[in-house]
Amino acid sequence: MSSDVLARREAVRSDRTARYERMVEIRTLEDAVRGLFAEGLVHGTTHTCQGQEAVAVGVASALRPTDTVCCTYRGHGHAMALGMTPLQVCGEIMGRVVGSIGGVGGSMHLCDTSIGLLPTFAIVGAGVPVAAGAALTAQVRGTDDVAVSLFGDGAANIGAFHEGINLAAIWKLPAIFICENNQYGEYSPIATTTPIANIADRAGSYGIPGEVVDGQDVDAVNAAVEAAAARARAGDGPSLLEMKTYRYAGHSRSDTAPYRPEGEFDEWYERDPIATFGARLVAEGLLAESDVDAIAARISGEVDAAIDEVKAAASPGVASMFENILA
Amino acid sequence: MARMRMNQAIAAAIADEMRENPDVVVFGEDVAVAEGPFKTSDGLLAEFGPLRVRDTPIAEMGFMGAAVGAAATGLRPVTEIMFVEFLGVALDQLVTEAAKFSYLSGGVVKVPMVMRASVGAGLGFGCQHSQVMESWMVGAPGLKIVMISGPHNAYGLTRAAIRDDNPVAVLEPRILYAVRGDVTTGPEGIIPLGQAATPVSGDDITLVGCGSTVRTALGAAGDAEGWTADVIDLQTLQPWDTEAVLDSVRRTGRLAVVEECPYSGGWGADIVSTVVAEAFGDLSAPPIRITAPDVHVPFGKELEQRYLPNPEYVAGQVGELLATGESPPHWWERDGALV
C-alpha cells in the first residue's frame, strides 16, 4: 500500500497532468459519496470538498512526503491529493477494514504517516498548534521538513488559531498555515462571523507574511505553497496563506445549503477549478480535447471499482474497538 | 540515594531524561529563564540550552497543541501547566487529540508527551488555584494519570512518565514541593507506571490515597490506637493498580479511600465500586470514601484546613467504621458542623 501511495504522491509533485487527474478523482469520489448515503452504506456524516480540489492538489504538489500535514475533517480531498487511494478513503468513510485506519475512524478521521498525514482533526482549529509542534520537531532535530496546518475560515476565529500561529511566529518554526476560505463556517457566511475581508491580513499581527491566493487555480496554490515552504525550510519562519475557494456542497451531509444567495453557486461554478485547469492544459497542449472525457471516464471506472471493493470488504470486528487505545 | 525537596526531585528527573535522550524537550510558562514558578526546572536551561528548554506565551492551548504535534513527530515534550486549572483551556489537546492519536492512526502514531501540573489546596491560593481536577481526565481512554505523593516517588514517576510512549498527566501536589525526602536517583529509581506502593502494612483496614492524601492516610495510620492499616499509594491513577488494592482488602476486609477532592465524581468511586464488585464476600464493613465536601476550595486558612481531609478526621472516620461496622457520616453532615 505504502509504495502505491508514495507513487501517487510523486505523480502530483512532478506532473501537472497528474494533478488534473487527481482533482477529477477527488470530485468523482466526493460525488459518489452522496449515492452511497442514499444506498444506506454510510453511517454518520461526511463533509465533502467539491469545488475545493485545487487547494488540496496544489498544496500536496508543493510538499514532500516527509513534511507533516494537519488537516481538517473535510479531508477526503487532501488525503487523496497527498497520495491516499480512493480505496483507503472510501473504505474509511464506509467503516470497512480496507479504510486508512481499518474503518474505526470514519469520514472525519483519516491518517497515513507515510505521506505525512497525521490523524485528521474533527475539532475546529485543533490542528493549528499541533502543526506548530510538528514544526518544532523539525527545528529541534535540524531537518528541513515543514509542517502544514490546513483549516477552514471558521477556524480563524477560534483561540487555537491565534495561539498556534503566535507560537510558530515567536519561535520562527518551519510551518505553513493554510486557511481554506470556502466562504462558510458550517452554515454561517464568513462575513457574519469575521469582521475583515481577508483572513491573510491577520498575518501582520504575528509579524509573518500573509498572502491571499486564488484557491481555484491549482498552479497558483502550488506556487504559493512552494514559496512558503522554501521560506520555512530556509529557517525564515512561518507564513499564513489564505486560499479563496468555494464549497459546492453544504457543510455536511444533512445540509443542503438553503442559506446560499441565489446566483452565488453559479458564479463560482463558472470558475470551476477542474474545468479551468483542464482548459489550461488543453491550451498548453499537455492534453488533447478528447483526453478530458477519456480521463473522466477512466477515473470514474477506477473509483467505481474501488467502491465495489469497499462494499465487498468486511466491517471491523469487535476486537478492533479495544485496539490501539494505548501505545 | 540523595536528600532533596520534591521540586528538586522533579527537576533532577527531567534533567536525567534529557541527558539520556536528545528528543526530550521542555516548554511551558516561565520554565526556562525563571526555572519554573515552583522551581521544578531548576538548571535545565543552563545545561540544555534554548533549543530544548523554552518559555512559552501564556497560551496553554497553543503550547499543549505544540506538545501533541512534537510528540506525534518524534520528540518527547515535557510541558508544564502552572496550575492545573489552566488546563481547562487546553483540555481538547490532551483528551481529544493526544489521547486519541494512537487509535486514530491504527496504532502508528505515538504521542509520548508529559503534561505536568501543580494541583491541590492548602496554600491559600483561592478556589481557582487550589483544585486537583483529575476528574477532567479520569475516563479519557488513551491517557495515563500519575499523582506523585512526595520527593520519594517524584523522581521515579516523572522519569517513567517521560519514558512512556503515551500521553501522561503528572499531577504534583503544590503543598509538597518544598517537602524534603530521600530519593533514589539513577535508573534504579525509576518507578513503573501502574504500580501502587504500600508504605505501611497493617491488618484492620486498607487506606487508599493518591497524591497529597497519602500523607494524610499515613498520618492517620501512624497515630491510630487500636487498629493498624495497609496504606496504599496508588501512584498511578489511570490505570490504577487493581490487584494491589484487592489483595489488601481481601486480607483486611475493610476499605477507606482518602481523596482531596469533592465527593461527587471523585476517583475513589471507581476504587470502591471495583472492590465491591470483586471482593464483596471478603468485606466485613462497607467501604467508605473520605473526601472534601461538594464546595469550592475556601480561601481563609482555617476554612481551607477544614475543607481538606486531615489525619485526625481520617482516623476518626476509620475508628467509627471499625466500632460500628457502618459508614460514618461525613463531617459536614453531622449535627452542628456548619455553625
pLDDT tens string A246-278: 999 999 988 889 999 999 999 999 999 999 999
What's residue A2's pLDDT? 67
Question: pLDDT of B105-156, one tens digit each?
Answer: 999 999 999 999 999 999 999 999 999 999 999 999 999 999 999 999 999 9
Grid coordinates representing A228 are 512558503
Which triple of cell numbers denotes residue A146? Answer: 515543514
User: pTM for the whole thing?
Assistant: 0.96
Tell me the shortest Cα–Cα distance from B184 to chain A, in angstroms.
Answer: 28
Is the CB of residue A221 less than 8 Å from the CB of residue A59?
Answer: yes
Instruction: Return mean pLDDT, chain A.
Output: 96
Which residues neighbour A270 within 8 Å (Cβ) at sequence distance 6 or greater? none
Residue A149 counted as domain residue:
yes
- Torsion of Cα atoms, A214 then A219 then A225 then A227, to 10°: -110
Residue A105: all three cell numbers together: 475512524
Cα(B214)–Cα(B210) distance, integer angstroms: 5
How many other C-beta atoms lie within 10 A of the C-beta of residue B249?
A: 25
Within-domain flag for A250: no
Of all residues in chain B, the one with the smallest CA distance to A135 is B70
Q: What is the CATH number of the domain that holds A68?
A: 3.40.50.970
CA quadruple B198, B199, B203, B209: dihedral positive or negative?
A: negative
Rg of chain A, C-alpha, whole Å: 19
Q: What is the CB neighbour count within 10 angstroms for residue A197? A: 10
Given a cut of 80, whether residue B234 has pLDDT beyond it is: yes
B197-333 is classed in which CATH architecture? 3-Layer(aba) Sandwich (3.40)
Q: Would you call B152 a catalytic residue per the annotation?
A: no
Q: What is the ipTM of this complex?
A: 0.95
Cβ burial, residue B290 (10 Å; 0-12/13-18/19+): buried
CA neighbor of A102 nearest in space, from A327, A324, A264? A324
Are B104 and A327 inside 8 Å of each other by CB? Answer: no
Number of folded domains that form chain A: 1
Averaged over B246-269, what is the pLDDT?
A: 97
Give which of B52, B91, B105, B113 to mutate to test A binding, by max A Cβ within 10 Å. B105
In-domain check, residue A301: yes
Question: For residue A70, which amino acid is it?
Answer: C
Contact A134/B at CB under 8 A: yes
**What are the residues facing A240 on neighbouring strands?**
A177, A210
Question: What mean pLDDT is predicted for residues B82-93?
Answer: 97
Cα(A152)–Cα(A73) distance, integer angstroms: 10
Identify which of B63, B70, B141 has the shortest CB distance to residue A134.
Answer: B70
| Mean confidence (pLDDT) of chain B | 97
Residue B259 region, left (φ>0) first, then alpha (ψ -120 to 50), else beta? beta
Give the residue numbers spanning the domain of A196: 2-245+261-311
CA distance A131 to A63: 14
Check: CB of residue B205 under 8 Å from CB of residue B321: yes
3.40.367.20, 3.40.50.970, 3.40.640.10, 3.40.50.280: CATH of B2-189: 3.40.50.970
- Euclidean distance between CA atoms A129 and A322, whole angstroms: 29
For the segment B147-204, what is each residue's pLDDT rounded down to a tens digit? 999 999 999 999 999 999 999 999 999 999 999 999 999 999 999 999 999 999 999 9
By Cβ distance, the residue of A105, A130, A132 closest to B104 is A105
Average pLDDT over residues B210-233: 97
Domain ranges of chain B: 2-189, 197-333
**Pick from B57, B77, B109: CB nearest A118:** B109
Q: Is 90 exceeded by the pLDDT of residue A3? A: no
CB contact under 8 A, B142 and A118: no
Query: Cα separation of B183 and B181, whole Å?
Result: 6
Whose cell is 484492620? That residue is B204
Asked whether residue A306 is assigned to any structural domain, the reply reads yes
